[in-house]
Amino acid sequence: MTSFSDLPIRDDLRGRTPYGAPVAAVPVALNVNENTHPIPDDVVADVMASLEVELRKANRYPDREFAGLRAALAGYLGHGLDASNIWAANGSNEVLQQILQAFGGPGRTALGFAPTYSMYPLLASGTGTGWIAADRGPEFVLTAEHAAGWTNAKKPDVVILCAPNNPTGTPLGLDVVEAVYDATEGIVVVDEAYAEFMPDDAPSALTLLAGRERLIVSRTMSKAFAFAGVRLGYLAADPAVADALRLVRLPYHLSVLTQAAATAALRHADQMLGTVHDIVRQRDRISQRLTELGYAVHVSGSNFVLFGGVDDSHATFLALKDRGVLVRDPGIPNHLRVSAGTQQETTVFLDAIAGLGPGGARATRR
């Protein structure tokens, strides 16, 4: 059987593996940071009605500029933004890909601070952009001095800051964003995929956009909005950024159905975000209980918890899976990551890991 490595694939893609998370039919899946709460019935009804309207016109191409959706996203974000400041695509991954297509590419580099979102280097590779993996500080905290130092030294064309960071959950201070922006003449992307799970008084990088034409703030409807299956990511930036991304986007890249579903959901933003406080409560409950069980829990501003002190990450992952709970092994030694689910799902996870004893499961030796 032929494998892709037998084909005339690009040399820089040989030996690489695609992004993926384990998939298993288990009662409690807490491995990919989804919002596991169901979408409210009246929101579903509004979305379905909007889809029916658009389906009757689906013989025509969608609005290439998705003006209505951009206006709705600007209204949701606030901060004096309007439709000209907004761009959207099929998930924030495609948003980031388009940014790297426009501002990265062959002969250019992108810089991130590892451990961070594993798609960043894959997106860089796919766009022919060199990837530079800088390190983080103790407890995965990134300081302004450290981040600016790396940026000054490497002079990347694009810097990606994950705020809060995935997979560690670490919040990011705005002083870091400001320092990195001042240290480069390139594009600075702040990936705020989990911003809605931060405290209500936590400032967003959206507050820094004015006067910074090279700053981009990326968001998604996959997490807090419980819209992961719809695939809608977006950004806020100077209008010139959207002009640049038009050069690389595919024609009519957002379908009429995606535009209609996302616009309808935004009409119910308060209701769609009604589960956020419960998720934060479950996240904090996980942190407290894991600490009581002797694990090293890292501070999280997201909808998941990274915890260390796991004797054997893989064995514990498998033991939890056998108990009907799927978590994530992020590749950080002696660590696992778990999403905050509903109260019932969280209880199942906490009971399962408590039942494994101190340090979790250990591999069976033969």
Are 306 and 325 found together in one domain? yes
**116-134: burial string, b at 16+ Cβ within 10 Å, e else:** bbebbbbbbbbbebbbbeb
pLDDT at 364: 55
**How do residues 316-366 score in pLDDT, each as one tens digit?**
999 999 999 999 999 999 999 999 999 999 999 999 999 999 999 886 543
Domain membership of residue 178 (yes or no) is yes
**How do residues 256-272 score in pLDDT, each as one tens digit?**
999 999 999 999 999 99
**How do residues 155-180 score in pLDDT, each as one tens digit?**
999 999 999 999 999 999 999 999 99
* Mean pLDDT taken over the chain: 96
Question: What sign for the dihedral angle of Cα 305, 306, 311, 317?
Answer: positive
Are 190 and 326 found together in one domain? no
Domains in the chain, number: 2
Domain membership of residue 15 (yes or no) is no
The residue written with tokens 């501070």 in the block is 299
Q: Which of 234, 267, 300 is the last residue of a domain?
A: 267
Contact 220, 303 (CB under 8 A): no
Task: Using only the alpha carbons of the chain, give its radius of gyration.
Answer: 21
CATH of the domain at 138: 3.40.640.10
**Helix (H, G, I), strand (E, B), or coil: what is residue 228?**
coil
Q: Nearest to residue 244, comparing CAs of 39, 42, 95, 58?
A: 95
Are 231 and 278 found together in one domain? no
Q: Which of 267, 296, 327 is the last residue of a domain?
A: 267
Enclosing H/E stretch for 296: strand 296-297
Are 126 and 155 found together in one domain? yes
Using the predicted structure, report yes or no on whether residue 283 has a pLDDT greater than 90.
Answer: yes
| CA dist., res. 122 & res. 111, Å (int) | 13
Question: What sign for the dihedral angle of Cα 94, 99, 104, 110?
Answer: negative
Domain membership of residue 7 (yes or no) is no
Are 64 and 82 found together in one domain? yes
Are 134 and 253 found together in one domain? yes
**Cis ω on the peptide bond leading into residue 167 (within 30° of 0)?**
yes
Tally of CB atoms within 10 A around 60? 8
Tally of CB atoms within 10 A around 48? 12
Report the amino acid identity of residue 349.
F
CATH of the domain at 330: 3.90.1150.10
| CA dist., res. 328 & res. 251, Å (int) | 36
Are 57 and 189 found together in one domain? yes
pTM for this entry: 0.95
Report the amino acid identity of residue 278.
D
- Tell me the residue range of the domain where 280 lies: 24-39+274-354
Are 246 and 294 found together in one domain? no
Q: Which of 267, 298, 315 is the last residue of a domain?
A: 267
Domain membership of residue 251 (yes or no) is yes
pLDDT at 349: 98
Domain membership of residue 67 (yes or no) is yes
| CA dist., res. 180 & res. 159, Å (int) | 8
